[in-house]
Amino acid sequence: MSTQVAIIGGGPSGLLLSQLLNRAGIETVVLERATRAHVLGRIRAGILEWGTVELLREAGVGARMDARGISHDGCYLTDEDLMVHIDFRALTGRSVMVYGQTEVTADLYSAQDALGTTILHEVSEVEIHDLDSTRSHVTFTHDGQRKRLSCLYVAGCDGFHGVSRKTIPEDRRRAFERVYPFGWLGILSETPPVHDELIYSNSPRGFALASMRSEMLVRYYVQVPLSDRVEDWSDDRFWDEFSARLPSDAAARLVTGPSIEKSIAPLRSFVSEPLRWGNLFLVGDSAHIVPPTGAKGLNLAASDVYYLHDALIRAIRGQGTTGIDGYSERALARIWKAMRFSWQMTTMLHRFDGEDAFAAQMRKATLDHLAQSETARRELAENYIGLPY
């Protein structure tokens, strides 16, 4: 087999890159480890920055998002005393879109089917070769057979546990990491949202987030110790704890119901530099992870894809290599700013076990300052709606 761009991983990064390249007349083959049903069943991100929304429209996958997504003009940051409204639209002129990653992925699969692109599922033992030559190749097992895919470029879109990052020699990459001493327990429930905008709550009992997917589907989270397991959390226990962490007037309006999904995700900040090794380019979670507090994970994957698709199109059309040569530096400049924002939101809103009284006062003062200062609110809003590409 032969193609122009081999894409390892058929999650949102790999599918969006494939979509944009194929629309520009460039051939791709996507190699995905899991089944399509598995990829579509993963409940993850829920907030799209305005830039992601525009990129999805440009990729020809905006119709269902525009019909079903919910535009949000603001969100709330709260503690037991204060409820601070961050009015994105008044502060920046922009909004974000509530539209789940599962929906984005489903839209991308439909669009790829319509274009007739090649996506191989249930591939295993992927290995990437000859990255320093003009033609590279990828070997993998599919349908019980070992296969070889020859290509000009390889896009590593295979998430944090994929093979792409590890193909770069250890002495030629550098990792930056912060692991947080807690996780998020999330549930999905077919109940009406407790508020029409998201609530990020810094309660003395720990962080809670009230998010949503639609008018009758909520996504709620509570901060939990890393040692907790999903089995420790009955629905009743979840609702009691979640309610206790919300501002009291929101808690009074809370509608509870059975959970239809429940999972725990650890929180981590991670960057691996550089994003390029010969003909290999890392994209999305394969190169970086953010804690979900700033809603940046999926959006950073989209901005990486934006930079890379443009650079690859130029290189393949013979219009020069400045794009691919500058990809790593350009993408990292935006990645580090999202890292900073996600880390700051996480620090501002979570209770750290064993922390001293000073730490709680710092969180309180940060929220007080946001309540008083439009400049502080604008800074937060500008980062939340997404920095320019």
* Count of residues that bind ligand PHB according to CB under 6 A: 9
Residue 349 contacts ligand RFL per CB under 6 A = no
CA angle 6–9–11, rounded 5-degree value: 130
Residue 47 contacts ligand PHB per CB under 6 A = yes
Residue 47 Cβ vs ligand PHB, minimum distance, rounded to whole Å: 5
Question: Going along the chain, which residue ranges are E strands?
Answer: 5-8, 28-31, 47-48, 70-72, 74-78, 83-87, 96-98, 118-120, 124-129, 136-142, 145-151, 153-156, 174-189, 198-203, 206-214, 217-225, 259-273, 276-277, 280-282, 288-289
Residue 75 contacts ligand RFL per CB under 6 A = no
The dihedrals phi and psi of 228, each to the nearest 5 degrees, come to -70, 145
CA distance 206 to 222: 7
The dihedrals phi and psi of 196, each to the nearest 5 degrees, come to -80, -10
Q: Which of 49, 103, 107, 158 binds ligand RFL (CB under 6 A)?
A: 158
Q: Which entry of ligand PHB, ligand RFL, none binds 293, CB below 5 to 8 A by partner kind? A: ligand PHB
> Looking only at residues 239 through 268 of this chain, which bind ligand RFL when binding is defined by CB under 6 A?
265
Residue 136 contacts ligand RFL per CB under 6 A = no
The torsion angle over the Cα atoms of residues 251, 255, 257 and 261, rounded to 10 degrees, is: -70
> Looking only at residues 281 through 320 of this chain, which bind ligand PHB when binding is defined by CB under 6 A?
292-293, 295
Give the binding range for ligand PHB (CB under 6 A) out of 27-35, 41-49, 120-128, 269-277: 41-49
The dihedrals phi and psi of 207, each to the nearest 5 degrees, come to -75, 150
The residues annotated with a catalytic role in the active site are 72, 200, 292, 296, 384
> Looking only at residues 26 through 45 of this chain, which bind ligand RFL when binding is defined by CB under 6 A?
31-34, 39, 44-45
Q: Which entry of ligand RFL, ligand PHB, none binds 158, CB below 5 to 8 A by partner kind? A: ligand RFL
Q: Which of 9, 14, 46, 159 binds ligand PHB (CB under 6 A)?
A: 46
Amino acid 363 reads R
Residue 53 contacts ligand RFL per CB under 6 A = no
274 cis-preceded (ω within 30 degrees of 0): yes
Residue 270 Cβ vs ligand RFL, minimum distance, rounded to whole Å: 11
Helices (H), 235-321: 235-245, 248-253, 297-316
Residue 79 Cβ vs ligand PHB, minimum distance, rounded to whole Å: 17
Question: Would you give the binding string for ligand PHB spanning residues 127-156, x where CB under 6 A is met?
Answer: ------------------------------
CA distance 197 to 101: 18
Residue 211 contacts ligand PHB per CB under 6 A = yes
Q: Using an 8 Å Cβ cutoff, are 195 and 77 in contact?
A: no
* Count of residues that bind ligand RFL according to CB under 6 A: 33
Burial class (CB in 10 A: 0-12, 13-18, 19+), 328: buried
Residue 219 contacts ligand PHB per CB under 6 A = yes
Q: CA 161, 163, 169, 173 torsion: positive or negative? A: negative
Residue 284 contacts ligand RFL per CB under 6 A = yes
Q: Which entry of ligand PHB, ligand RFL, none binds 12, CB below 5 to 8 A by partner kind? A: ligand RFL
Give the binding range for ligand PHB (CB under 6 A) out of 40-48, 66-74, 303-311, 322-330: 40-48
Residue 103 Cβ vs ligand PHB, minimum distance, rounded to whole Å: 12
Contacting residues for 300 by C-beta, under 8 A, at least 6 apart:
284, 288, 290, 334, 335, 338
Residue 328 contacts ligand RFL per CB under 6 A = no
CA-based nearest residue to 65, from 56, 73, 74: 56
CA distance 200 to 348: 10
Q: How many CA atoms lie within 13 A of 287 on its CB side?
A: 31
Judged by the rule CB under 6 A, the positions of this chain that interact with ligand RFL are 8-14, 31-34, 39, 44-46, 101, 123, 126, 157-159, 161-163, 265, 284-285, 292, 295-298, 301
Judged by the rule CB under 6 A, the positions of this chain that interact with ligand PHB are 45-47, 198, 211, 219, 292-293, 295
